[in-house]
Structure 1
Amino acid sequence: MSNVASTRQDLTGEVQRDVRATALPGRLEAIGRAFVEKSPARARAIRLATILMVDALVMFATFQLSLAILSNLKMSPTMYDLRFAAAFVGINLAVLFAIGTYRQSWRFVSVRDALRLSASLLVTSWLIWMVTVGLIIPQQMYRVMMTTFLTVDIPITVAALLGARVARRAFFQYLRSARLRQSAQARRRILLLGELDWARVMADLVPTDVQSGLEIVGVISFDGRDRRLQVGGLPILGSPDMLPQIVAELDRAGKRPVSLVVQESSERLDRQQILRIAAAAEQENLTVSRFRNPWTGPQPDKGDRLSIEKMPLAELLGRPEITVQHSYLERVVTGARIMVTGAGGTIGGELVRQLAYYRPAEIVLLDHAEYNLYAIELEAREKFPDVRFHAELCSIRQRAALWQVFERRRPEIVFHAAALKHVPMVEANPCAGVHTNVLGTRNVADAVCEFEARAMIQVSTDKAVNPVGLMGATKRLGELYCQALDLIGSCDPDSPRFLTVRFGNVLGSSGSLIPLFQHQIAAGKPLTVTHPDIERFFMTVQEAVLLILQSSARALETDSERGTIFVLDMGKPVKIVEIARRVIRMAGLRPDIDVPIKFIGLRPGEKLFEELFDTSEDKIESAIPGIFEAMPSPIPLEMLVEGFGQLARLIAAGDSRELMRLTHEMVAASASSRWAEILRRLAAESQDTVFMMPPRGPEPAPALPVSPPSMPRDVA
């Protein structure tokens, strides 16, 4: 106990001494700031008079010093006349004032400013001398003497003037650092990685923002050639390959950084280098960050101050982003009438933004959430004034209202992103989940058939693969219905296409993992992870939408095989606990020390590992780079229609238990279904028959129906 008390007394004494040492500079700065705010014109006049007086004293002193240095040189008697020295100083100051020298901040002087000052003093001094010896006091020119004098005097004068300004700048930096020491905010040490010009700017910029609490401890250049030199007063410590050694040296010096701030705009930093640097930084428990500048946009609760932000997590996942072939999209989307269901959601909103880029004739925004629909319509109209947008407030559950929208707008391509996606929420509300994800999807698909749209692209999820929970099962039934409709149109090239796109977790979407972790850190709570071994596939919302657009456009352009599901090659799954640790480091904190990680157990309907392909599906290569295709084993359409009718009756009765049982039973039936084989064989036989028979008319009749059997429109 005595040791603890002694340590506490030592710390208290250090804090008190630090406060006493910094209180006076803080009070002086506060007094100066108050005076400037009260009388800005008077403050400017006093500032100018002070600078002129200081510069006059400096010039007069350097004039006398130069005479003393050149005492052995034969000088004109005029040079020793105090009146000439005073006139010399006064006229130089007047010229400097006239050319605007005193209208700029000389605290941040550059080499260019120093050269300009030297040239001004040289020209003015020669003119003063020539006028003096030619008009005022006629005498010998003493060209050699005057040249020698100016050669000595001007460098000394420039050095003294700049030295005074450097001293003033150092004084203000001392005041800022004193104010930082007074504040209770902990200082966050950072390393800079980038071009030396950028590092020099950051060395000036960071100390000006006291509230950021940042302290730069060194610079890492890309090649490390300038190691052991300095830039902006900061040591150049080496290259990125030397990061472990650099961190160890800083740690021994008591200056261990918490973050590696990377120059974002450098041409010498590509994605692969970012991944290597991120891996090395993670080994050293460093956050990989970049500067968020005040001019890049508003920052909530931070005002216009400088801060650092994490690098996007997607850049650290270890796989390249997918690329898009614009020619396919332009041919499919440009000039078309597009509908996006769930347009106010994360995926739907990004679909609207990316589709609008290709100038469709119009985009119908359909959503049941009023504010979300208003927000995406407002954003879309502002960003894309040349595209027509129609906001339709409608739920996909409302079959009659949905069909009215289709009849009024007549979309050619429908992107179906409306769904209930949160696993625990659907598990707790089975009737709502089945109503939206199953019957709502059926409503949209049936409207596509009824109003002869060209295609429907359904957004699905990896949770639909071998589903355990109800949310995955509902999405699987949506897939099965669209697959059945796509397959049944095999014999009619004019029948609508029904395409399904499947991907994993979307980073940053509403209610997803990363926003939850960020909220928990902001609230000072531990990060909650369901299981130490749970892992997921991750992608960005931009990648998800690119996948949807790329696969659907290629499928429509190339008339791909019907019934397949498009799946993004997302690399290896990532453990959630590793994501949690990374998010903590990106916040400048230490996992399990500053922020604990709490394991809460798997939630209802949640799997430990996600899959991308069902046990009844065959994985095949796709012609689209970065995308696979799944060959389905679907359920006959008649069975789905009958089963969906039973689901609708159970929803109306509120029988949640039987509803869940029937939903999982229908999904399980697809594993033993041979309907796809039968359809393909019938389609092949039909084509062979048509080829062998002589033509009897303009077109042979299709062998299979191209639309779902008629159903009562009020079933759902």
Structure 2
Amino acid sequence: MAASIPPAQYDPFPADPLPDDPEEDEVQIATGAPLWAVLLHDMLTRPTGFPAPARFAALMLIDGALVLLTLLLVVLAIPGPVSAAFLDRPSLMLFFSMAAVFTLCLTGLYWRCWRFLSFGDCIMLSTAVAGSMAAAWGLCLIVSAKIRAVPLDVIGFALLHSALLLVAMIGARTIRRGLREFARAHIVPRGERHNILLLGELDWIRSLLEMLRADRTNSFHVVGALTFDGRDTRLQVAGVPVLGAPDKLSQITEALAAKGLKPESLVIRGDTTMPRRAFSRLVKLADQCDLTVAHARDLQRTKEGEPRIEIKHFELADLLGRPEVSLQRNVVERLIRGRRILVTGAGGTIGGELVRQIATFKPSAIVLLDHCEFNLYSIEMQVRDLFPDILCHPELCSIRERGSLDDVFRRREPEIVFHAAALKHVPIVECNPCEGAHTNVLGTRNVADAVCAHGALAMVQVSTDKAVNPVGVMGATKRLGELYCQALDLIGQCDPESPRFMTVRFGNVLGSSGSLVPLFQQQMAAGKPLTVTHPDMKRYFMTVAEAVQLILQSSARAMEAKIDRGTIFVLDMGEPIRIVDIARRMIRLAGLRPDIDVPIQFVGLRPGEKLYEELFDTTEEQLRSSIPGVIEASPCPVPLEKLVKAFADLSHLIAERDEEGVQDLMKELLRAPAQSTWARTLRELTREIDLVGKAANE
């Protein structure tokens, strides 16, 4: 390993030429290491006690001796006029050697590191030897008449000597490297060996093997290699067998275990761009074989020398195992560009990502609304730093305060409103039903009413799968917010100029504040067990970027294609994933072993939680969508007048802190859609009005 030179000693223009090897870190010597190994290692490693010119001269002396010995060997082995010329004048041999070494010096041969001898180094050495031999034999032709008299003999003689010299010089460097590594192996303390498998291209596998072997302090032992296509099976790379493709990982692991070489980790290339589905499948295969998955760039050692793959901030999308949703930018740009946008809850995880993505479409202004001063300050600084050309208006306001909210709408006149403000933590809202209803129900009503009162074009509400057939307070409050927005959207069917109210529903957002992934990361970093509520609990997952792309794309397409009013948009998130599987996968992605390095504890369901989340209510009709990656739901809503009256009653119950009354009223309202035919009747009336209008025009 290359030494780290202290700044005070660093000289960018050294006076002395560089020797064969750069100075390297002091090697840790094992207790009781044999003296011969220590002396041999010190002799073959660059000795710091000798000046650079002396070491440089020693290298040239060694090569000069090789030139002289090989020349003498060829002279004695092949009698003839050329040999006679050298035997008659022994000084000519010395002259030849000096000329050859001088030419080798001019080629830069002694400025190269030969400790890691490679094919490229051998090519360079061959070129240097060819050049030096041409120069030396050319000078001999000039100074010796006997050699000049037999030019054809000289060509064969020179070729044989050059080949022998090249073998000798490569051999000397190889022996020097081998002896040094042999000595190093006897003086470096050996810890516990950790068997690993490598997966990648053969060239990368060979390079990584050389790096691992060059550092004898590493504790990783490569027991086999895998390739993605498995076509190089039964070959060997640098002495390591190629065992097949990842599909046969189970059989490969069993075969190695039978030989006492069971691997602990599967190591892939750190910069490999592997599709998310393929990576997820690889992780599952490794799980089944009790292997951790690591990137080569993450191979680390602690100060105590223990091999450990550091817990890192990996791509959370790797956990999903399905293709990520791609954003149709042209459609979204037509919705956002040049318009005034307001985002509630702008300082939160979803709200902040909404602001950042919206800013890329160059709106005329963004209004950042949040009730938390620090969150508002943080997102404002991000916008001003990343998008200095975007006009940004921070508004410290709670959506609970109807008067303050109306004032913001009056002053800023937003055209599109994205409503991301909400109380979302299930156990906390369950313990505080009045606060949850005040924010998620009445707050949503306040925003929607402000949209109607101040002439905005559309409002996009961010909802959750917990609003589907809710069993807890948080889900119930979000469902009532959905019903109010649906009712407002449907009532506008008779007026094409009325604002649109769209609801976007998705599952758990990986990495959002207070969600399970940051919690698991904190628990692992602290060395604590990962806490999971139930072994069978399943959830739908998506990334923050996916959630925001769904919001933008769905709202843009709904506005442009005039999708039926009241429609709910749901991301097609594939199959739900067990929480315990997410926990195990995170542990393995961190290079640790579930239930061994990091235990998993089951703590039981919390109030308001369900084992399984759903994406559609029992009263909703699931529809195919024209938006890629999105499913639509046709609602069975509650009449607007009924919601207006019930929300007024809810407001009085909240003011009186009647938690039981709040919960009873919400339950009663959620039972109403099951018997409601209001939406169907409203659509039929709208169609009749349209038919009458068309007939009148004709």
Instruction: Note whether the superposition's TM-score is higher than 0.5.
Output: yes
2:58 corresponds, among 53, 77, 88, to 53
Rate the CA distance shift 1:86–1:435 in 2: closer, same or farther, 3 A.
farther
Q: Is residue 442 from structure 1 mapped to residue 441 from structure 2 by the alignment?
A: no
1:570 aligned residue: 573
1:423 corresponds, among 423, 426, 447, to 426
Q: Which runs of 5+ in 1 are unaligned?
A: 1-16, 37-41, 295-301, 696-716
1:3 aligned residue: none
Pairing 1:501-520 to 2, within 5 Å after superposition? 501-520=504-523
C-alpha displacement of 1:483: 0.8
Taking the aligned partners of 1:340 and 1:577, their CA distance within structure 2 comes to: 34
How many residues align structurally?
660
Q: Is residue 63 from structure 1 mapped to residue 68 from structure 2 by the alignment?
A: yes
2:6 aligned residue: none
Taking the aligned partners of 1:198 and 1:134, their CA distance within structure 2 comes to: 50
1:12 aligned residue: none
1:600 aligned residue: 603
C-alpha displacement of 1:502: 0.6
Taking the aligned partners of 1:481 and 1:421, their CA distance within structure 2 comes to: 18
Counterpart amino acid of residue 331 in structure 2: Y
C-alpha offsets along residues 76-106 of structure 1, whole Å, 9 cap, x if unaligned?
Answer: 4564566544444444444344343333433
CA contact (8 A) 1:60 1:85 kept: no
CA contact (8 A) 1:206 1:306 kept: no
Taking the aligned partners of 1:72 and 1:401, their CA distance within structure 2 comes to: 104
1:467 corresponds, among 454, 457, 470, to 470
CA contact (8 A) 2:310 2:591 kept: no
Taking the aligned partners of 1:401 and 1:591, their CA distance within structure 2 comes to: 51
C-alpha displacement of 1:575: 1.8
2:19 aligned residue: none
User: Match of 1:396, SS?
Assistant: coil
1:20 aligned residue: 32
C-alpha offsets along residues 258-308 of structure 1, whole Å, 9 cap, x if unaligned?
Answer: 3323346668x65554454344333212234434579xxxxxxx9xx9969
C-alpha offsets along residues 475-508 of structure 1, whole Å, 9 cap, x if unaligned?
Answer: 1111111111111111111111111011111122
C-alpha displacement of 1:548: 1.4
1:220 aligned residue: 226
2:285 corresponds, among 280, 286, 297, to 280
C-alpha displacement of 1:18: 6.7
Pairing 1:289-368 to 2, within 5 Å after superposition? 289-292=294-297, 312=315, 314-315=317-318, 317-368=320-371
Rate the CA distance shift 1:134–1:561 in 2: closer, same or farther, 3 A.
same
Taking the aligned partners of 2:542 and 2:618, their CA distance within structure 1 comes to: 23
User: Match of 2:378, SS?
Assistant: helix
Taking the aligned partners of 1:451 and 1:85, their CA distance within structure 2 comes to: 101
CA contact (8 A) 2:250 2:289 kept: yes
Q: Is residue 147 from structure 1 mapped to residue 155 from structure 2 by the alignment?
A: yes
User: Match of 1:71, SS?
Assistant: helix
1:39 aligned residue: none
1:700 aligned residue: none
Pairing 1:532-611 to 2, within 5 Å after superposition? 532-611=535-614
Rate the CA distance shift 1:385–1:121 in 2: closer, same or farther, 3 A.
farther
2:24 aligned residue: none
C-alpha displacement of 1:694: 7.0
2:486 aligned residue: 483
Rate the CA distance shift 1:308–1:645 in 2: closer, same or farther, 3 A.
closer
Counterpart amino acid of residue 287 in structure 2: E
2:637 aligned residue: 634
CA contact (8 A) 2:524 2:598 kept: yes
CA contact (8 A) 1:59 1:157 kept: no
State the Cα RMSD in Å.
3.7
Taking the aligned partners of 1:692 and 1:381, their CA distance within structure 2 comes to: 54
TM-score of the superposed pair, with normalisation by structure 1: 0.82
CA contact (8 A) 2:523 2:530 kept: yes
Taking the aligned partners of 1:442 and 1:293, their CA distance within structure 2 comes to: 50
1:244 corresponds, among 240, 250, 253, to 250
C-alpha offsets along residues 457-485 of structure 1, whole Å, 9 cap, x if unaligned?
Answer: 11110000111111111111111111111
Q: Is residue 126 from structure 1 mapped to residue 134 from structure 2 by the alignment?
A: yes
User: Match of 1:20, SS?
Assistant: coil
Taking the aligned partners of 1:601 and 1:640, their CA distance within structure 2 comes to: 36
Identical residues among aligned pairs (%): 51
Taking the aligned partners of 1:604 and 1:211, their CA distance within structure 2 comes to: 52
Counterpart amino acid of residue 257 in structure 2: D
Q: Which runs of 5+ in 2 are unaligned?
A: 1-28, 300-304
2:402 aligned residue: 399
Pairing 1:181-200 to 2, within 5 Å after superposition? 181=189, 188-200=194-206
CA contact (8 A) 1:19 1:182 kept: no
Pairing 1:247-266 to 2, within 5 Å after superposition? 247-263=253-269
C-alpha displacement of 1:567: 1.1
- Shifted more, 453-462 versus 668-677: the winner is 668-677
Taking the aligned partners of 1:175 and 1:379, their CA distance within structure 2 comes to: 56
Pairing 1:166-185 to 2, within 5 Å after superposition? 166=174, 181=189
Rate the CA distance shift 1:543–1:101 in 2: closer, same or farther, 3 A.
same
